[in-house]
Amino acid sequence: MTSTNTAVPTARKISTLGLAIAFGGAVVQLLLGIYYLSMAHAPQPHSLPIGIVASAEQRAQIEPRLEAGDQFKVEAYRDANSLIAAIKKRDAYGGAVLDGDNHTLYVASAASPAVANILKAAYNSAHGDQVAATVEALAKQGRSVDIATVQRVAAPSTIVDVVPLPKDDSNGGSLGFIIQALTLGGSIASVALGRLGKLTERSMGRGVRHAAVLVLYAALSAGVALAAMSIFGVGDGAATWALFGGLSLASLAITASVAGVVALVGPAGTLLGGLYFSLGIIISGASIAPELLPDGGRLAGQLLPPGAGATVVRDSLYFPDATTVGAFVVLGCFAGAGLLVVLLTNALDYRRPFERRQESRPA
């Protein structure tokens, strides 16, 4: 007959723990609420790159207004074709061509529907002010302003969407959902694979197998993402292999980095996956353009796998002419570092702190 010395918690102790958990949960909720609201409650442009094709005199009138408050960063282009090329390379979110009385606004809703709307609003406001100033100048000169002149000056501008969103993704929300699924799925998979590895002794072979399974999962994850996207018409016309490669590397960066931290510190390392999802998604640029986030959020977001992954996937979908070297470097660093840690901790028979404590206890 066996006996146990396990102490039964008293009602007071349980109540104290319950209150501590409730208080801790409320604090976490408060901190997350402050974080989310500080990042995205009122997105505003921060040095948003735009282009303009106009005479020196027109630029002198317009650029100071646009660059006031550091909302926009204006770059002059030679002609409409060079502006369009810059938009396709993602050097600019949009821009205006001012050719006499014919004004054309160029946007790219695929880069960010919110930015496209901001550019339209800013341009319409500037155009309205210019019309009012022109009519006022004519009136001050004592010249009569006939209806034909007013209609010519106030004629609505042509708006051209250089890189539009597909009709099946008219609000541009698909990219955010893809990155969320990729991040959450990858975090869960890396934790599950780590627990599976405990069934065998540490060795170089186990490390290689673990790393190989992480790579295999990344490829499967990308394939599943492509299949889901095809069902809803997202990604039609995109370079499939480039998109597959970007999704695979993004998934590997998430799973391998989480697996590496778990290999070093134990179960607590799974928190990294939670941080990717809870903190990294909102600053990833998947749903909100990076230039609409505060400076700190924009920088941090693009240095994390969800943000770099969002850049790679968006450009693979809609902007094949854009350079994504920086984003690929970020993903490669996270993926490579994670795989290296997994290999080394197994090859060197590394014991995590909690495992050493367990081994030191008397039987």
Q: What does the alpha-carbon distance between residue 279 and residue 139 come to, in Å, rounded to a whole number?
A: 56
Residue 308 has a pLDDT of 95
So what's the pLDDT on residue 314? 93
Query: Best-predicted range by mean pLDDT among 278-282, 294-298, 332-336?
Result: 332-336
- The shares of helix, strand and coil residues in the chain, as percent rounded to the nearest 5, are 65, 5, 25
Residue 146 — pLDDT band, cuts 50, 70, 90? low
Q: What is the pLDDT of residue 329?
A: 96
pLDDT at site 163: 93
What is the pLDDT at residue 315? 93
- Predicted confidence at residue 115, as pLDDT, reads 92
Share of residues in the chain with pLDDT > 90 (%):
36
State pLDDT tens for residues 48-82.
999 999 888 888 888 888 888 888 999 999 999 99
Which part of the chain is CATH 3.40.1710? 48-164
User: Is the pTM higher than 0.75?
Assistant: yes
Segment among 6-10, 102-106, 166-170, 205-209 with least mean pLDDT: 6-10
Pick the CATH number of 48-164 from 3.40.1710, 1.10.8, 1.20.58, 3.30.310: 3.40.1710
107 or 124, greater pLDDT: 107
For the stretch 94-115, pLDDT in tens is 999 987 667 899 999 999 999 9
Burial of residue 59 (CB within 10 Å: 0-12, 13-18, 19+) is: middle
Q: How far is CA 195 from CA 66, 121, 134, in A?
A: 55, 53, 72
Of 122-126, 231-235, 341-345, minimum mean pLDDT range: 122-126
Place of tokens 């081994």: 359
